């Protein structure tokens, strides 16, 4: 992958997670030159327990991957940082469902709360983004 500049855009998402409606605070790191005509694969990343998208580790991961040409969606896990809802300790029906909603954004299947869309992520087929996930501690469970 290439090394280069990137932009960071703050986004908010409202997602249904289990029986909860939760707000998710996120940043999308977009490498320079990545657009609809020149898409890039994506990485979803979140914080360890007690952290947030701005904890020095999560945002450093976003920056490092973006410099290498990946679109990165870094978010504060539910109950951390400025994301809403209570902490549910990586419950698949709550935290997993919330992460799935963010993957839908990377697939171009949904917009952020402000209407922003990610039409610049590589798709393997419609609705199927080329995306990996990374995180440390709680964020990697």
| pLDDT tens by residue, 51-99 | 889 898 899 999 999 999 999 999 998 888 999 888 887 778 788 888 9
User: Does residue 127 belong to any structural domain of this protein?
Assistant: yes
Number of domains the chain is built from: 1
- Can you read off the two tokens belonging to residue 8? 């960071």
Task: For residue 1, tell me if it sits in a domain.
Answer: no
Tell me the CATH number at 53: 3.40.50.1820
Structure tokens at 26: 């996120």
Q: What range defines the domain where residue 97 resides?
A: 6-140
Of 107-111, 125-129, 136-140, the least confident: 136-140
> 30, 122 in Cβ contact below 8 A?
no
Closest CA to 50 of 13, 76, 16, 84: 76
Which H/E stretch holds residue 119? none
pLDDT at 29: 98
Is 86 among the domain residues? yes
Q: Whole-model pTM?
A: 0.92
49-56 long-range Cβ contacts below 8 angstroms, 24+ apart: 49/80, 49/137, 49/138, 50/80, 50/138, 51/76, 51/80, 51/81, 51/138, 51/139, 52/25, 52/76, 52/80, 52/81, 52/82, 52/83, 53/25, 53/26, 53/27, 53/81, 54/81, 55/81
**Has residue 114 been placed in a domain?**
yes
- Quote the tokens at residue 50: 């007690």
């Amino acid at each position: 992958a290439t090394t280069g500049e990137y932009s960071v855009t703050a986004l908010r998402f409202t997602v249904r997670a289990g029986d909860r409606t939760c707000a998710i605070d996120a940043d999308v790191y977009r490498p320079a030159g990545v657009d609809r005509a020149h898409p890039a694969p994506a990485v979803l990343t979140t914080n360890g327990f007690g952290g947030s998208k701005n904890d020095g580790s999560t945002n450093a991961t976003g920056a490092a991957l973006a410099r290498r040409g990946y679109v990165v969606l870094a978010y504060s896990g539910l109950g951390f940082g400025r994301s809403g809802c209570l902490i549910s300790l990586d419950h698949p029906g709550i935290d997993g469902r919330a992460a799935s909603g963010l993957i839908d954004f990377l697939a171009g299947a949904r917009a952020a709360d402000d209407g922003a869309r990610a039409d610049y992520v590589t798709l393997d087929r419609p609705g199927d983004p080329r995306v990996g996930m990374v995180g440390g501690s709680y964020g990697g469970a």
